[in-house]
Structure 1
């Protein structure tokens, strides 16, 4: 994988995590309003987020990490652990911590996605066997 492909995968995974975080907020609000069957969907979405965050954890260590901000590495490492903590708090119904941490995570995941989408993609590399473009050449 080259740095450009890794960065695009990070963009995709961060956007998916931000969307899933928004879904989690909606599901939690529905549950707290008395619609108890959505609690199962809230749990399934949370597990999905943990798996996606673990994929992202691997991605932050692949090529191109020097072109990305240090905060992307920090977030990439912290998010899977924070989501796992959220899962434990949710399973044990410690809502006084689970709810506010969930809101902070939704905001943080959105900020991480925004940062990754604002960071320019690394330059494309020439394919093997393709002639290299000359700088300053005219057509």
Structure 2
């Protein structure tokens, strides 16, 4: 039996690709939410927390890059198209955030961090919602 042929009347929809995207998005969210905690620890006197803050930021960039690849697969499997530009924008924002942090441009670094955290929470909420599993075109 050829498993690549789909039965008549069934729409190809994201399944495994969505689960991989969900895992990557959740890891991304955990890393994003750790950042203000680490910054707060640094501000309260734990000087080693800033090193961890930078390391987590670099890990966040790597996870964001993986997330882009997984989003491409998700979109290819008839997932929602709008997710790709959102994930790419998050990756670019994380890159800018790293540069701003190392340059100590905190007047932009802090609000951009809030924007990244907000977008990451909203994306994670959506990716775990039932609408993320629906294929493009509304077919069920």
1:92 corresponding residue in structure 2: 103
- CA gap 1:86/1:37 in 2 versus in 1, 3 angstroms: same
Report 1:41-120 matches (<5 A). 41-65=52-76, 67-118=78-129, 119-120=131-132
Q: Distance in 1 between matches of 2:133 and 2:104?
A: 42
How far has the Cα of 1:122 moved from its partner?
Answer: 5.9
How far has the Cα of 1:17 moved from its partner?
Answer: 0.9
2:32 corresponding residue in structure 1: 21
Q: Is the partner of 1:24 in helix, strand or coil?
A: helix
Q: Is the 8 A contact 2:60 2:94 kept in 1?
A: yes
Root-mean-square deviation (CA), in Å?
A: 2.0
Which 4+ stretches in 1 moved above 6 angstroms?
none
2:133 corresponding residue in structure 1: 121
Larger radius of gyration: 1
Q: Is the partner of 1:47 in helix, strand or coil?
A: helix
TM-score (norm 2): 0.78
Q: Distance in 1 between matches of 2:25 and 2:14?
A: 16
The answer for unaligned runs of 5 or more in structure 2 is 1-12, 136-140
How far has the Cα of 1:70 moved from its partner?
Answer: 3.5
Q: Is the 8 A contact 1:8 1:121 kept in 2?
A: no
Between Structure 1 and Structure 2, which shows a larger proportion of helix residues? 2
The answer for unaligned runs of 5 or more in structure 1 is 124-139
